[in-house]
Each structure stands twice: as structure tokens, then as C-alpha cells.
Amino acid sequence: MDFTNKKRSYYCGQVTAANIDETIVLKGWAHSRRDHGGIIFVDLRDRTGICQVVFDPDVLVDKFATAHGLRDEYVLAIEGKVRRRPEGTINAKMHTGEIEVLVKDFEILNTARILPFKLDDYAKTSEDIRLKYRFLDLRRPEMQKKFMMRHKLYQVVRKSLSDQGFIEFTTPILTKSTPEGARDFLVPARLSPGNFFALPQSPQLFKQLLMVAGYDKYFQIATCFRDEDLRANRQPEFTQIDIEASFITPEEMFDYVENLVCNVWKECKGIDIPRPFKRLPYAESMLKYGSDKPDLRYDLSITEVTDLFRDVEIKVFSNVIAKRGRIRALRLPGGAALSRKQIDDYTAFVGVYDAKGLAWFKVQENELQSPLAKFLTPEKTAEFVAAVKAEVGDIIFIVADREKVVCDALGALRQKLASDMKLYDPKAFSFAWIVDFPLFEYSERDKVYTPSHHPFTAWVSEDTPKMEEYVADPDKFKNVHPDDHPLKGVRALAYDLAVNGEEMGGGSIRIHRADVQSLLFRAINIGEEEAQDKFGFLLNALSFGAPPHGGLAFGVDRMLMLLLGETNIREVIAFPKTQSGTDLMSEAPSQITDAQLKEVYIKVDLPPETK
RNA sequence: GGAGUCGUAGUUCAGUUGGUUUAGAACGCUGGCCUGUCACGCCGGAGGUCGCGAGUUCGAGCCUCGUCGGCUCCGCCA
């Protein structure tokens, strides 16, 4: 029989005891075959599941020889009768394990070459091979579950935001390159020789313009592009849930977003997240957790001990104090059991973050065991132990360095210790809004303050004089210590949502007045002319009755990582890039022809060593 | 740009201090047998440029250097 016009009756995973005695048509892939010489069992699979179909020589007669030729991943159409499996052969592990389909007729719709790897859940395959044959990798039930979840997430987001009055838009992919932020991906503009489009790092400016246009509440599931190096949680193209609303307070924004996030966790995970989420000021987060995206599933925390060591004769500490650095301590309960080797490993671990050392103190009855213990008087020892609330059997780690190094090193060590010591439930979730971000952060490399969020972020209005003080005479502050710089203390109206140590989303209230935006540009050394050239359209729009507005964006891929318990973003992206930014399946990027280059007026000029 | 780590059969891996035979195992593949399996089973078979290139050595899968690729991290990522 020709199955071309034979409609599929059910998906494989949907056939149950309710269908017994029905004659049905199934189509799918041969997942596994068990050929007994006589009778043959095939597990027919599609995206919904697996159904056992039976090829019986007494039923099929002439066609039975063909059934012997079936191989893994052949594409089949079968017609047969659903029947209860014989006594003792019911498979309780299978959703459809109560029944089977006795094949009366079938057609091989397509054959398959021998696979480069097995598609079952038992065999683990290295990632480069999975990526090269991504179309097969994605055929695995395990992967299909992830992308069903991704679909579900999209649906919940659309419903939840639409129900809350948000309007979905599509904004351009070919946009204008802007300074600041990440490196742009560029696209030559054939119709404007010598000019280039940039792919959007986010729809930031467009959504602000939609607020100016009066749409009041906007959202988009947007693809964003940033040409920077990749990480386990970072791809050059990624998806954001982009949100913006007019006339709102940060608290209203939190309310909309918490509602959305709770809907997502409820629908996708079946979990009720308690509301409202914790609010944690940036400064407190950096001090206690060494991070602006702390993992709060466990309660290790860092203690400031700079002042305590001011009058202690430890040279490495006093040097740090003299340079206005910080000394901070991290207590690990029960950590006195760590071996010298383990401590050495942790010392090497914090070295990655530029920490020049890791001091340690094991807490014993009435004394500390440490190479540095001899420098502490009994009174100082007691004061130190009390300050970090240490108990006998604990270990206290100390990093003394520039504030950034101390935060990075102890923040990373905190995560590492918690993970090594299994201090948290990997299935738990901790949500926290990180608030009161500084508007600017100091760049050690460039010796200047740059926006810590993006240059459209509004700030607390009482801090405007600090901005004006700097802008009035920037040269005056060229050589002042960064801690004394007027821009250091400017508080942004920005917020991030940190989940399990990941930054899942972030946003801010935006600048909505052209004069205020100009002040910000001057503070970050973007001149009037450059501002007009790069952002003239925004300044223009802000001058035509732009309403106060703000919003935020969520990393969809990171959200899915969290929902699925994945530690790698490639697992939730259908066709991801490798760490070197290539696609092993299509072999993109690739060379193009001279004719193509000529058409867009580009000459390639590689440095000698890459030619 | 930098650091670490991995690269052996189609796949996942083992391969000791540089020398034990023809570089092994499991799964997959393949030929045969098998009418109640469900990661079917049993008997047989094929399958290798040890990522690539130099070097050290009487001798290299193993040591050295370079290079390519995967992954993790630092820098970078508003």
C-alpha cells in the first residue's frame, strides 16, 4: 500500500488501551528493533514518544522479508490493529506499554545511513560530534524535551505579558552601529557603498522610541547579537525577553516581571515561587557575596576585616591597607578538616582572579592554626574570631587586595566551596533583585569611569550635582583616587534579577529628557558632535514629549538553563556555536567569493600570520 | 590576547616506567541462528594515518616542541 495519502491516526506516544481494536496508521522513526527471526518488534518513535509495533510473519506473509531489512532510524508508516499485549509482556516503564500495534501493512518512507552515534539516552557522545550532526542530536527524545520546554516558555511569556497589557513588536535586525557596550556584528550596506549596518546588541533604542510613540507597554522575544568571546553561559547570538513600559516606578516593573517569572516557573516546572522576591542592594551583595549576581541557595558570607587588621604587623596586609585596598574574610564552617593540598588548590583557584595569595586560619580551642597566627595577639585573635562568627572546626580564608580583586576572588571561592562541599540543593532556586547599582564603574584598564549598565540609564536625582561637578571640569579629577571620584557615588535606577548565581535579567529606568541624556554623554566623554552623530535620533525623540519609562530584558537561554538544570547554554539552543564562534554543522563562517566582496565594496586585508 | 584540559575503531573508553606478540574492551556495524522482545539473545566477522607535523631515542599511542580542533576559565561581554 502507498501511504502518501494515508493520514496518521495518532502520534506514537498517544496510543493507549482506549484505542484497543482500532485500526490505526502511525508514522515515525524505527527507534530500536528486536528481530527474533520470526516475530519482529520495532519501537516506533516520534516527538511524543514510543509505541511498540509488531511484524508477524503469519500476518504479513509476502512483505515480511522487507521487515527484516529495517534498520535504526528508518522512517516508517504502518497500518495495524491496536491490541492489548499478551499476559506477562506489559511494559510498565512505557507510557504505551500496555498495548502494541499488530502491523497489517507498512511502507519504508525513507532509509537511513548508519548513524555516527546512537540516539538513545544511554550512550554519551562528545559534544563536537553532536554539534556536527545536530539534526540527529536534536532527534533524541532527551533533546526534544528541552525544546518542547522552550516552546512552552515562549507561550507562557506571550500569554502572561499580553494579559498584563504588553504589546508584542518586531524591531529591525539591520540597525545602526553604536559605540559603548559590546563589539557589533557588521553587515555591509550594498546600497550605501562603504557604509555598514550593525546587528542589534539588544532592541534598546527601538523600545525606548516605542515608548515615545505612546505604546505604553512593549515586549518582544528578540534575538540579540554581541561579537565577544563565548562562555558556557554566553553565545554570540541569543534570545531576550525584552520589556519596556511608560510612567512606571521600579516597584511596578518588579511586579509585572515577578508575575511573569512566577507564571513561567509554575507552567514549565510546576513550582510556586514565593513573592515578592528578595531585594538586595548592590553594595551589600558585593560585600557579603563578592558578586552582583549572588547564589543565595546557601548562606556562606564574606566579612569586612580591613579595620581589624589596621594595627596588625602583617606586611602583605598593611601594604594593601596603605594602597586603600580591602581585607575580607570568608568563613567555611567545618573547614578546618581541609588538607594542605586542598588549601593550595584553593590558593591557585583565587590566583586566576589576580589574588596574590589566600591567607587561612583554622579555628581551634582558644587559638588559630595558621602561618600568620603568630602575628595576632590573643585579644586580636578573639576579636577576629568574633567578627567572622567563627566556631571551633571552621576555617577562615582571607584575601587582601584591591576591592575588585577581593570581591572576585572571594566571590568565586564562595561558589567553589559551596559546590565542593555540597552546601546547597542543586534543584532549589533563589531569586533576588539586586538594586541600587552604581551608575558608573571604574575601568582599571582605561583608568576612567564607564556606565555599568548602558548609557541610557537614569540615576537618583539627588546625585545630579556630582555629575555636574565632574562635567564642569573633568581634568580636575584626572589624578584623583577612583574612590574619591565624584562619579563613583552616583546611584543608578537599575536592577538585575539574580537566580542561582546567574544574571537572568536586568534593566533600569531610562533617561527621558534630552538635556539629562546630554549630561550623561558628557560624563562619559561623548562629545556633543559624537552624541548627535551616534544617538541624534534618540536625543531628537526625547525632545518631543518622551514619557518617563523603563524596562528590562531577560536572557531566555539562561532562563531555560535554570529551568532544565543545565550548566551549558548550548544545550538549550537548537543550533549553537562552538567556543571559537563557529558552527560545526554548516561550517559557518566561511569564505565568500571575490564577486560577492566586490558587490559590497569590501577588500579583505588579513595580517600576515593568518594568510 | 592568556591559562588549563582533552584528542586512540563509527561511538564511549582502556592502554602501566618508552620495549609482551598482530594497539584492546564495550556498544554499534556485518554474516548466520532465533516467534514475545522491549538497551532482546546466541555464534562468527570486518573495522585503526593513535588529530596533524617535526624532534629526542636502538625503539614513541606514551617524552619534547609546534600546530589544528572540542571544552572550562581569565581578559572581554553597557
Q: Please tell me what DSSP assigns to residue A557.
A: H
Q: How sure is the predictor about A609, in pLDDT bands with cuts at 50, 70 and 90?
A: low
CA atoms within 13 A of residue A161's CA, in its CB half-sphere: 27
Q: Is residue A119 part of a domain?
A: no
Dihedral through CA A403, CA A405, CA A408, CA A411, nearest 10?
-70
**pLDDT exceeds cutoff 60 at A118:** yes
A204 touches strand B (CB under 7 A): yes
A445 touches strand B (CB under 7 A): yes
Estimate in Å the CA A121 to C1' B62 gap, whole number. Answer: 33
DSSP characters for A117-159? S--SSS----HHHHHHTHHHHTTSHHHHHHHHHHHHHHHHHHH
Give the strand order in the sheet containing A494-499: A167-168, A217-225, A237-246, A549-555, A502-509, A494-499, A431-435, A278-281
Q: Is residue A394 part of a domain?
A: yes
User: Are A337 and A467 members of one domain?
Assistant: no
Q: Pick the closest to residue A280 from A489, A433, A499 (CA basis).
A: A433
Nucleotide whose C1' lies closest to the alpha carbon of residue A227: B77
Cβ(A222)–Cβ(A242) below 8 Å = yes
Instruction: Compute CA distances A237 → A171, A173, A258, A293, whole Å.
Output: 16, 12, 26, 22
CA atoms within 13 A of residue A456's CA, in its CB half-sphere: 25
**Average of pLDDT values for A525-540?**
90
Q: Is residue A169 part of a domain?
A: yes
A169 touches strand B (CB under 7 A): no
The predicted pLDDT at position A611 comes to: 41
What's the rounded Cα separation, in Å, for the pair A407 and A45?
Answer: 51
Cβ(A51)–Cβ(A44) below 8 Å = yes
The predicted pLDDT at position A525 comes to: 87
Estimate in Å the CA A349 to C1' B64 gap, whole number. Answer: 28
b/e map A373-395, b = 16+ CB within 10 Å: eeebeeeebeebbebbebeeebb
* CATH number of the domain where residue A368 is located: 3.30.1360.30
- The rounded Cα A534 to chain-centroid distance in angstroms is 29
**Average of pLDDT values for A527-537?**
89
Average pLDDT, whole number, for chain A? 95
Q: Is residue A173 part of a domain?
A: yes
Number of domains in chain A: 3
Nucleotide whose C1' lies closest to the alpha carbon of residue A58: B35
Q: Is residue A604 part of a domain?
A: no
A182 touches strand B (CB under 7 A): yes
Domain boundary among A423, A439, A469: A423
Residue A544's identity, in one-letter code, is F
Identify the residues numbered 335 to 364 in chain A whose C-beta atom is closer than 7 Å to any atom of strand B: 352-354
Estimate in Å the CA A609 to C1' B56 gap, whole number. Answer: 29
Whole domain around residue A348: which residue ranges? 298-423
Estimate in Å the CA A313 to C1' B49 gap, whole number. Answer: 64
What's the rounded Cα separation, in Å, for the pair A498 and A428?
Answer: 14
Nucleotide whose C1' lies closest to the alpha carbon of residue A38: B35
**pLDDT exceeds cutoff 50 at A466:** yes
Quickly tell me which residue has 537561554 as its cell: A557
Identify the residues numbered 6 to 35 in chain A whose C-beta atom is closer than 7 Å to any atom of strand B: 32-35
Is residue A470 within a helix (H) or strand (E), and if so which, with residue range? helix A464-472
The dihedral sign for the CA sequence A568, A572, A573, A576 = positive
A234 touches strand B (CB under 7 A): yes
A175 touches strand B (CB under 7 A): no
**Average of pLDDT values for A239-266?**
97
- Name the residue closest to the C1' of B36 by its CA: A89
**pLDDT exceeds cutoff 90 at A528:** no
What's the rounded Cα separation, in Å, for the pair A145 and A563?
Answer: 12
Tell me the residue ranges of DSSP E strands in A336-475. 359-364, 367-369, 395-401, 431-435, 440-443, 448-451
User: Are A345 and A215 members of one domain?
Assistant: no
Identify the residues numbered 120 to 139 in chain A whose C-beta atom is closer than 7 Å to any atom of strand B: 120, 122-129, 131
The pTM assigned to this predicted structure is 0.95
What's the rounded Cα separation, in Å, for the pair A559 and A154?
Answer: 11
* CATH number of the domain where residue A38 is located: 2.40.50.140
**Average of pLDDT values for A591-597?**
95
Q: Is residue A482 part of a domain?
A: yes
How much of chain A is helix, strand and coil, in % rounded to 5?
35, 25, 40
Identify the residues numbered 575 to 594 in chain A whose C-beta atom is closer than 7 Å to any atom of strand B: 578-580, 582, 584
Nucleotide whose C1' lies closest to the alpha carbon of residue A456: B78
Q: Is residue A266 part of a domain?
A: yes
**Chain B bases near protein Cβ (<7 Å):** 1, 10-13, 27-30, 33-41, 69-78
Q: Pick the closest to residue A25 from A104, A88, A96, A94 (CA basis).
A: A104
DSSP characters for A263-287? HHHHHHH--PPPSSPEEEEHHHHHH
Q: Is residue A431 part of a domain?
A: no
User: Are A261 and A385 members of one domain?
Assistant: no
Identify the residues numbered 393 to 422 in chain A whose C-beta atom is closer than 7 Å to any atom of strand B: 408, 412
**Average of pLDDT values for A489-516?**
96
Estimate in Å the CA A58 to C1' B41 gap, whole number. Answer: 22
Domain boundary among A89, A110, A131: A110
Q: How sure is the predictor about A608, in pLDDT bands with cuts at 50, 70 and 90?
A: low
User: Are A456 and A512 members of one domain?
Assistant: yes
* ipTM score of complex: 0.94
Q: Which three cell numbers stand for residue A575?
A: 543550533
User: Are A589 and A462 members of one domain?
Assistant: yes
A72 touches strand B (CB under 7 A): yes
**pLDDT exceeds cutoff 90 at A527:** no
A52 touches strand B (CB under 7 A): yes
Per residue in A139-183, pLDDT tens?
Answer: 999 999 999 999 999 999 999 999 999 999 999 999 999 877 899
Q: How many residues does chain A have?
A: 611
**pLDDT exceeds cutoff 80 at A309:** yes
Estimate in Å the CA A579 to C1' B52 gap, whole number. Answer: 21
| Burial zone of A436 (CB within 10 Å; 0-12 exposed, 13-18 middle, 19+ buried) | middle
User: Are A399 and A461 members of one domain?
Assistant: no
Estimate in Å the CA A127 to C1' B71 gap, whole number. Answer: 9
User: Are A473 and A373 members of one domain?
Assistant: no
A443 touches strand B (CB under 7 A): yes
Please calculate the CA angle A21-A49-A576 and round it to the nearest 5 degrees: 160
The predicted pLDDT at position A1 comes to: 74
Instruction: Compute CA distances A169 → A194, A218, A244, A247, A437, whole Å.
Output: 31, 7, 11, 19, 29
Q: How sure is the predictor about A122, in pLDDT bands with cuts at 50, 70 and 90?
A: confident
User: Are A265 and A307 members of one domain?
Assistant: no
The predicted pLDDT at position A99 comes to: 97
**pLDDT exceeds cutoff 70 at A59:** yes
Is residue A304 within a helix (H) or strand (E), and if so which, with residue range? strand A302-304
Per residue in A12-47, pLDDT tens?
Answer: 999 999 999 999 999 999 999 999 999 999 999 999
Q: Is the model more confident about A122 or about A348?
A: A348
**pLDDT exceeds cutoff 50 at A205:** yes
Query: Residues A1-8: contacts with CB within 8 Å, 24+ apart?
Result: A1/A79, A1/A105, A1/A107, A2/A107, A3/A27, A3/A77, A3/A79, A3/A107, A3/A109, A6/A77, A6/A79, A8/A77
Cβ(A276)–Cβ(A254) below 8 Å = yes
Tell me the residue ranges of DSSP E strands in A305-358. 326-332
Q: How sure is the predictor about A127, in pLDDT bands with cuts at 50, 70 and 90?
A: very high
A181 touches strand B (CB under 7 A): yes
Beta-strand relationship, A99-110 and A49-55 = parallel
